[in-house]
Amino acid sequence: MSHNAESTAFRSALEVIRAVEPRVADAIGAELTDQRESLKLIASENYASPATLLAMGNWFSDKYAEGTVGRRFYAGCQNVDTVEALAAEHARELFGAAHAYVQPHSGIDANLVAFWAILADRVESPALKKAQVRQVNDLTEADWFALRRELGNQRMLGMSLDAGGHLTHGFRPNISGKMFDQRSYGTDPATGLIDYDRVAEAAREFKPLILVGGYSAYPRKVNFRILREIADSVGATFMVDMAHFAGLVAGKVFTGDFDPVPHAHIVTTTTHKSLRGPRGGMVLCQPELADQVDRGCPMVLGGPLPHVMAAKAVALAEARRPDFADYAQRIVDNAQALADGLLRRGATLVTGGTDNHLVLIDVSGYGLTGRQAEQALLDSGIVTNRNSVPQDPNGAWYTSGIRIGTPALTTRGLGTAEMDQTAELIHTVLTQTTAGANADGTPSKAKYTLDADLADKIARQATDLLAPHPLYPAINLT
């Protein structure tokens, strides 16, 4: 697509939207402006290509397509079959997976599909066998009672939330914490690193049905070969959630023991984040789980979103190009440069650095909570998110950490020199922010003080840093 075609496509789309609801068109335009002017350091965000974005705005949105390729519950899905098959093909080839299921709407949905596929495959109850061979309406109330009892209270072992795990790995606020009897493994208090011997000990004691690997805020590589050996030693299914680092796997930055696909029975991921696709999910699995995974809709998913599957196909095709491997390596190079810049300025980083795309700053050294730091940085044009650190005294709401990542800025073309300048901006804001007090004089975990002129100055410097690397330079909405 030519630059002129990109600009024409998006400008024309906004004109059509504006004719119906101008406030939506205004909000879309404002979002592009905000993203162009802000240092986007949220580790789970990126910028999808114009081709990926445009693939979502079309007539596929109007199709119902329950079922799988060639086996739909609705007629007229031949074109949906084409894009879903293409997305699955690209996923298999990109990751070296035996089977790919591209229908999940999100990472949480992908995890739910994986959980239920494992349960249906592993739990050998009479009621479950009946459910697989008989019509659901034929099951008696006693059958349903036995089925609920058998599927419930299965055991899951995953990384703890404060060590970098995710809500969907068995924590109570999420449905996974209600489905499973869950226990967590943490990290070594001295280093912040996974202690595989302790994970093995926990697995032997707890005997989980599912061992979950993967993370949302752990700044190091994970040895998936060792985790698979632990899972095998206790007869557990090994599941990996690679939502955050899928782009590093696709770009062959993580290989061998650090690539989860050859080692796990089942792998889930989002398609955005470091993979740089549309917001959505995906499941990769070994052949023995394929039939159960393909029942994701209607097992736990609503109707597939064909327009998003089309965008997944486009993004996965982009990720198979040679330049994506270079992009993935630059993500890690930039993250390490950002970490080094912060360390030189006296910041405290969880694990002392990073091997992947993210850096976790312990902001308690600045006298702040994560919530105070997050908002002060946002006031200064730097978009981050607060995050727990190991053994966090402030809990999961206020937190003691800030999680930052480099996928988005790397997409814009920023390099290691700009990462050092970014570290300087972050450090300046955090050192100049002071914790506030409540009305009764007690320390506040949310209120803070930052000179407004300084915040404006940093925001201008952030915009200047981005200026040589324009976002979507071919797109002009005026």
The conformation of residue 260, written as its DSSP 8-state character, comes to S
Residue 28: pLDDT band with limits 50, 70, 90: very high
φ/ψ (deg, to 5) at 443: -60, 140
For the stretch 60-119, pLDDT in tens is 999 999 999 999 989 999 999 999 999 999 999 999 999 999 999 999 999 999 998 998
Q: Of the ranges 19-23, 120-124, 200-204, which one carries the lowest mean pLDDT score?
A: 120-124
Residue 180: pLDDT band with limits 50, 70, 90: confident
CATH code given to domain 324-466: 3.90.1150.10
pLDDT number for residue 158: 93
pLDDT reading at 251 higher than 80:
yes
pLDDT number for residue 2: 58
pLDDT number for residue 131: 55
CA dist 244 and 272 (Å) reads 9
pLDDT reading at 137 higher than 70:
no
Q: Which residues are catalytic?
A: 64, 66, 241, 270, 273, 279
Place of tokens 């470091």: 274
**Residue of 400, 388, 299, 378 lying closest to 68 (CA atoms):** 299
Centre a 10 Å sphere on the Cβ of residue 195 and count the other Cβ atoms it contains. Answer: 16
φ/ψ (deg, to 5) at 101: -125, 115
pLDDT number for residue 161: 78
The average pLDDT across 142-156 equals 70
The average pLDDT across 228-233 equals 97
- 401-405 and 385-387 strand pairing: antiparallel
CA atoms within 13 Å, Cβ hemisphere of 279: 4
Q: Which residues pair with 268 in a beta bridge?
A: 241, 283
pLDDT higher at 152 or 227: 227
pLDDT number for residue 152: 59
Q: Of the ranges 49-58, 147-156, 272-281, which one carries the lowest mean pLDDT score?
A: 147-156
pLDDT number for residue 4: 86
For the stretch 202-225, pLDDT in tens is 999 999 999 999 998 999 999 999
CA dist 81 and 77 (Å) reads 6
pLDDT number for residue 350: 96
For the stretch 318-359, pLDDT in tens is 999 999 999 999 999 999 999 999 999 999 999 999 999 999
pLDDT number for residue 308: 97
The conformation of residue 442, written as its DSSP 8-state character, comes to P
Q: Give the three-class secondary structure for 110.
A: helix
φ/ψ (deg, to 5) at 405: -145, 160
CA dist 383 and 381 (Å) reads 6
For the stretch 458-475, pLDDT in tens is 999 999 999 999 999 999
pLDDT reading at 132 higher than 60:
no
Structural Rg of the chain based on CA atoms: 23
User: Which of the listed CATH numbers 3.40.190.10, 3.40.50.300, 3.40.980.10, 3.40.640.10 matches domain 59-319?
Assistant: 3.40.640.10
pLDDT number for residue 174: 74
CA dist 95 and 259 (Å) reads 9
Share of the chain above pLDDT 70, in %: 92
Residues of the chain with CATH 3.40.640.10: 59-319
pLDDT number for residue 141: 73
pTM, whole model, 2 decimals? 0.91
The overall average pLDDT reported for the chain is 92
Share of the chain above pLDDT 90, in %: 80
Residues contacting 460, CB < 8 A, separation 6+: 381
Residues of the chain with CATH 3.90.1150.10: 324-466
pLDDT number for residue 148: 63
CA dist 420 and 418 (Å) reads 5
